[in-house]
Amino acid sequence: MSSTSVQISSAQIRETIKLFRKAGLRECVLLWLGRREQGIQHIVEVYKPLQNTSIDYFEIPRNGMAALDRLRTQALYVVSQIHTHPLEAFHSSADDKWAIVRHVGALSIVLPNFAKSTTLKNFLREAAVYQLDDANSWNAVSSEQMADHLRITK
């Protein structure tokens, strides 16, 4: 695995899918919080920030970001963001521009169909995964590269 890889448990993937389903027919954004240990970004919490959403839009208001100040005292950071789209999963130009995660190696993940068809089993196939490089560009992670970037543990 590369030094920028993200590791998340099956239970946290299930929690992610559950929260998206609960959001209904609206976009929803979740933040995967974690810490870096031995070069791997371990997810420790799936967090739903305060957000304004519609069928094809989400925004985290200023007080939603302010709530993240607690992360510093808990030695956590936003490892990855993940959000749903009504139809196809891709990184829109708004997604590029308004991404909350900004560190090199950050992942931004998009799920199609409001995650209605996403399961633990098909998660890595359904998810469109993008990684931020040191030139501040979001690059799609191909299925061949996936294991180096995102791993789901038991």
Provide the binding-site residues for Zn ion, judged by CB under 5 A: 92, 95
Say if residue 63 is exposed, middle or buried (CB neighbours under 10 Å; 0-12, 13-18, 19+).
Answer: exposed
User: Shortest Cβ distance from residue 96 to Zn ion (Å)?
Assistant: 9
Whole-angstrom distance, CA of residue 91 vs CA of residue 154: 28
Complex with Zn ion: residue 92 or 153, whichever CB lies closer: 92
Complex with Zn ion: residue 24 or 39, whichever CB lies closer: 24
User: Shortest Cβ distance from residue 57 to Zn ion (Å)?
Assistant: 8
Complex with Zn ion: residue 76 or 89, whichever CB lies closer: 89
Type and span of the H or E element at 70: helix 70-73
User: Shortest Cβ distance from residue 81 to Zn ion (Å)?
Assistant: 10
| Encoded amino acid at 49, one letter | P
User: Shortest Cβ distance from residue 20 to Zn ion (Å)?
Assistant: 13
Complex with Zn ion: residue 98 or 117, whichever CB lies closer: 98
What the block records as the tokens of 118 is 């996403």
What the block records as the tokens of 71 is 């992360």
Type and span of the H or E element at 34: strand 29-37
Nearest-CB residue to Zn ion?
95
